Chains A and B, each alone.
Chain A
Amino acid sequence: MLRYILARLITFVPTFVGVTLISFAFIRVLPGDPIIVMAGERGMTQERYDELVQRFGFDQPLYLQFWDYLTGVVQGDLGRSFITNRPVWDEFFTLFPATLELSICAIIFATLIGLPAGVIAAVYRGKFFDRALMSTALVGYSMPIFWWALLLIIVFSGNLGWTPVSGRMSLMYFFDDVTGFMLIDSLLSGQAGAFTSAVQHLILPTIVLGTIPLAVIARQTRSAMLEVLSEDYIRTARAKGLRPARVNGLHALRNAMIPVVTVIGLSVGTLLAGAILTETIFSWPGIGKWMVDSIFRRDYPVVQGGLLLIALMVMIVNLTVDLLYGLINPKIRKR
């Protein structure tokens, strides 16, 4: 097991180098000059421009620039933002907890509803619930996220006034970041109502971000369950006189979990990469919005470093999923 994890960690290295190369090349292929963007509408003198070109090393050949960047990365230095002059590392970890909190809530929401819904649909296949669920899932999957978000805001924030429109916390409360997770920090602060406020702020973004994963998980669970339900060992379980809930929920679901866990893992990967639309609509201070802004500002170090860290997160999620396979089904357990 340990050997397997180590072997997998070693395969991270080429992926890592690949990601640095792609992110480095990608941002430089985009037209636009970060120094001009930095100068804004006022512009700058040619001397000042040349000075900055030299300072950022843009006068060097590309391969040297890449080498500088790579050696920096290996030493844990992702560079500083051109715009804020803060280390990329710091910026990422200020914003990442917001994305992580939202992603975790969204995936929990999607799994808690999608998994049972898929199981029930498979057990009662062809019946009303199955048809209703599968068509709803299709709608959920194909619905434009921004439209869905606006619709929810109009109804629940606008008309009913149940939830706040945007942000992570009501302005009435103030406390220091400890973990970066509002749900935890608000509890730690001990201020009455702060936790409720954090929850209220999370509800709509969670639903919006969780909708597509929910639809995918429900459909995947259903099809995996359908396959498993016709297996011989399900007949054996029923022949023992077990309750249908136990046959379906334990014997069948455990076997159907492999493709479902794969889908959940993939969803977590995309969610961590930042839900740009959701974060923008709800003014959620996460890394999705940060990455988009930095691309428009041609903030090279932020784009490179951000992509790299996101890729790292996705790789860790994938490794976790692979390890989970073995836990679910001993037949594919790694030695």
Chain B
Amino acid sequence: MALLTIRNLTVEFATASGAFRAVDSVDVDIDRGEILAIVGESGSGKSVSMLATMGLLPWTATITAERMEFDGTDLRSLSGPARRRLIGKDIAMIFQEPMSSLNPCFTVGFQIREALKQHLDLDKKGRQARAVELFEMVGIPDPERRLKAFPHQLSGGMNQRVMIAMAIACKPRLLIADEPTTALDVTIQAQILDLLTDLQKETGMALILITHDMGVVAETAERVAVQYAGQKVEDQPVTDLFARPHHPYTAALLAALPERATERRLPTIPGVVPGQHDKPVGCLFSPRCKFADERCRQVPPPVQPPAIGFARCHYPLNVPAEVETA
């Protein structure tokens, strides 16, 4: 049974110029102990769909979904207190900017013990011991002393380790990492990713990694969901995705990787992600797609069967001979 199942998730924001659909009928499935990467450009709705799952979106957002279940619990009808018992404990999340994601007014020790106090039945001593243990787990040297530090006294990488320690404090079954390495420099990025995958192996939790970095995906993920302009356009195991992308957008993303470039100039995807006011009628990717024809521009594409990676496309690429397209 899947740990998290989301069907047809749509998130709309009320803006001054009308409703803006940030997430458009997205499905997410993740099993226990699985590592799923959600890939996409800025504004493709990857963070928003996960924030919706956590219930952390501002009041301007309207969330609708056919199904939204975590381990049998319907997340849509969850009361405030019930949700607060779940998030931070069974589902935890870490964010892009470690420096601004920790409260500057409190020591990191206070903030991690606070998470423990909220969900676990530990006394003061127990919380301190667990905090030290967690800091050791995430590789923070001299934990007793570091617990007394304020966020501004630690580096970005250290702060992200603190965030990770805080997120895994109550042994979550699902950890959502929202671009955990984007704000860090490259050497630290690799360390943080290694840490996340190690912790995932150790604890057996499921991990959703939101990123726009295909390199990160290749190194860490087992399965990849590609999002474009609020829609999921493809969903495949990582090796298959890199070998045989079915959606032209995925193919274009992969072609733009420097390691894969064959010419002197790096291939790019022309144009930009459509915004609130210039959404195409048909396929959302059609204005930037080199395979697009009149049908693509007029008719929204179907979702292809699992064998074609759930590609949301009229003309999926690399289709095996024996499979029929939708």
Q: What residues make up the interface of A, taking CB atoms closer than 8 Å to B?
A: 231-233, 235-244, 251, 254-255, 328-331
Number of cross-chain contacts by CB at 8 Å: 67
Q: Judging by beta carbons under 8 Å apart, are B93 and A330 in contact?
A: no
- Knowing A236-B103, A240-B118, the reply to whether A331 touches B88 (Cβ < 8 A) is no
Interface residues of A, dominant DSSP: helix
**Contact status A231-B56, CB under 8 Å:** no
B88: contacting residue among A241, A254, A330, CB under 8 A: A241
**When the two chains form their complex, are residues B100 and A242 in contact, meaning their CB atoms are under 8 A apart?**
no
| A-chain residues with CB within 8 Å of residue B229 when the two chains form the complex | none
Chain A residues lying within 8 Å of B88, measured Cβ to Cβ, are: 239-242
Bound CA–CA A243/B114 (angstroms): 12
Q: Smallest CB-CB separation from B85: which chain A residue?
A: A241
- On B, residues with C-beta under 8 Å from A are 54, 56, 80, 83-89, 92-93, 95, 97, 100-106, 114-115, 118-119, 150, 152, 163, 166
Partner of B105, one of A239, A240, A241, A328: A328
In the bound complex, residues from chain A placing their C-beta under 8 Å from that of B56 are 235, 238-239
Bound-state CA distance A330–B107 (Å) is: 9
**A242→B85 CA distance, assembly (Å):** 9
Residue from the list A233, A242, A244, A254 in contact with B118, Cβ < 8 A = A242
Interchain CB contact under 8 A, A240 and B114: yes
Shortest Cβ gap from B174 to chain A (Å): 12
In the assembled complex, the Cα of A231 lies from the Cα of B56 at a distance in Å of 13
- Asked if A233 contacts B85 (CB within 8 A), the reply is no
28 inter-chain pairs at a CB distance below 8 angstroms, sorted by A residue, are A232-B95, A232-B100, A232-B101, A233-B101, A233-B102, A236-B95, A236-B101, A236-B102, A236-B103, A238-B56, A239-B87, A239-B88, A239-B92, A240-B88, A240-B118, A240-B166, A241-B84, A241-B86, A241-B87, A241-B88, A241-B118, A244-B80, A251-B106, A254-B103, A255-B105, A329-B104, A330-B104, A331-B152
Q: Flag if B166 contacts A233 (CB, 8 Å).
A: no
Which residues from B are CB-within-8-Å of A329? Answer: 104-105
Is B84's CB under 8 angstroms from A254's CB? no
Given A232-B95, A242-B118, A237 contacting B105 (CB threshold 8 A): no
- The interface residues of chain A lying within 8 Å CB-to-CB of B80 are 244
Which residue of chain B has the shortest Cβ distance to A240 in the bound complex? Answer: B88
B85 touches A331 (CB 8 A): no
- Contacts of B87 on A, CB cut-off 8 Å? 239-241
Contact present for B103 and A242 (CB under 8 Å)? no
